[in-house]
Structure 1
């Protein structure tokens, strides 16, 4: 399978083009990165793009949608696709966004902003936990993960090393330090580096609700 990635220099968001083989049909996954590297692969590999798959509707993932649709007349979808040489399955993975989905193609999964290398997306803790643990972590462990930001990984690596996954598995204890999150008293459960070089935290508020937040929204 052909998979080519482009990454935005500021947003660090990824866009992908994938195809079963040279000369066949292709699909794009998200569009919030420079399109030129992907268009070059389309030309070099003589691909015929048919669809634009959208993991979620945030601006840093859909910025190039109009350009791709205008150029190729693509069908834009967050659903499954079956086209020449490609079968795309869709899994609902809300949490970072209500419309979040992940796409599975053969031994690859495009996770949008649900799962990253060593981290997860921000949002309500319960929904994200379900999407990560009950959906993505049930995929075969050799599945390659192509996230919405920065570097690829595998389900196996994240199962063993991702601090959020390890906590949800019961392998690692909660951090336990008191903190303030979005101005409220909370308890820090998990802290991890994030794809942007800053940090991501899972916190529990006094009412028992949990959330995953970026470092800028947390005071320790």
Structure 2
């Protein structure tokens, strides 16, 4: 499996194009906007887009979803049902933050902890990691040792918890109890900013590093 990170929206949100190299099937994870840019990359790579995968319901992660799904007849998969209220509020989110208008939508499939999703022949594990939002999920490839963590974890930081239904301790617990056990060798694509590894964050992240956890 290969991946291409495509920053979109004024928030430079990391939309990821995941490609199964065996089947040439692909998925876009968190298509937050700039649809022409996303489709240009899909066409450039010559892959067959088969689904849209969502980590959570914030507008910079889902703003382009409804239009893309309608344009290409793609299924929307994720996040977990607890984020339905965010998706229903999408038009209001866009007005509040000055984003292009975007319609709400209903995913074809809500995800739960322990589910799996496929991109071509590749299997991704679904890990429910609430805290930033209540229905946030993480996609994990065991074979690639790669996690797409949305806004749960960043290089040197963690997701905000001051939005409705966010909770700081829940987020810390999600990272320490659900992500760290996957292994220090796991590399991750965050919702914003550069990639990192769990090992690096365990060592130096001021919020969830080893010293923070033990304090």
Distance 2:154 2:66 in 1: 26
* TM-score, normalised via structure 2 length: 0.73
Pair 1:97-2:133 in alignment: yes
Number of residue pairs matched by the alignment: 171
* TM-score, normalised via structure 1 length: 0.72
The structure that has the greater radius of gyration is: 1
Q: How does 1:131-150 map to 2 (within 5 A)?
A: 131-150=174-193
Match of 1:24 in 2: 24
2:148 alignment partner, one of 106, 110, 119: 110
RMSD: 1.8
Give the drift of 1:147: 0.7
Residue range with higher mean Cα deviation, 72-81 or 51-60: 72-81
Match of 1:130 in 2: 173
Higher helix share: 2
Match of 1:152 in 2: 195
Higher relative contact order (CA 8 A, sep 6+): 2
What whole-Å deviation, never above 9, does each CA across 1:181-201 have from its counterpart, x for those lacking one?
Answer: xxxxxxxxxxxxxxxxxxxxx
Give the drift of 1:120: 0.4
Distance 1:88 1:29 in 2: 12
Match of 1:168 in 2: 212
Distance 2:37 2:23 in 1: 17
Distance 1:53 1:84 in 2: 13
Determine if contact 1:16/1:38 at 8 Å carries over to the other structure: no
Determine if contact 2:130/2:137 at 8 Å carries over to the other structure: yes
Match of 2:158 in 1: 120
Runs (5+) with no aligned partner, structure 2: 79-110, 162-166
Match of 1:86 in 2: 122
Q: How does 1:195-210 map to 2 (within 5 A)?
A: none
Q: Secondary structure at the match of 1:163?
A: coil
Give the drift of 1:28: 0.8
Determine if contact 1:26/1:47 at 8 Å carries over to the other structure: yes
